[in-house]
Amino acid sequence: MNLAVVGSSTTASTNVMILKKGTICYGSIKGHYDFFYPNLENKFELTMAIEVERLPWISYDDYKPMRVISPDNYLPVKVLWISKEPV
């Protein structure tokens, strides 16, 4: 699994990072109380590096939520879940 970060930038309000090509991630599904959860049946392997923002949501099991910033419309979802926090 390729979860290394190419670069990261942290400010008071955001946690922006680049996920490398080859990173395994999962889409989201709306569940209990309309919260988003990782959809483990909707698996993606990134074919290019993407810019994401770590969301301040509670993790689900070992999955961390990330909002896709760029490129737009690269994936059919805007919130991804990765199984480990990139280093």
Each residue's pLDDT tens digit, 34-79: 999 999 999 999 999 999 999 999 899 999 999 999 998 888 899 9
Rounded distance, CA 43 to CA 58, Å? 20
Question: Residue 77 contacts by C-beta under 8 Å, 6 or more apart in sequence?
Answer: 27, 28, 42, 68
pTM over 0.85: no
According to the model, what pLDDT value does residue 14 have?
62
User: Taking 90 as the threshold, does the pLDDT of residue 5 lie above it?
Assistant: no
Listed by start position, the domains of the chain span 5-82
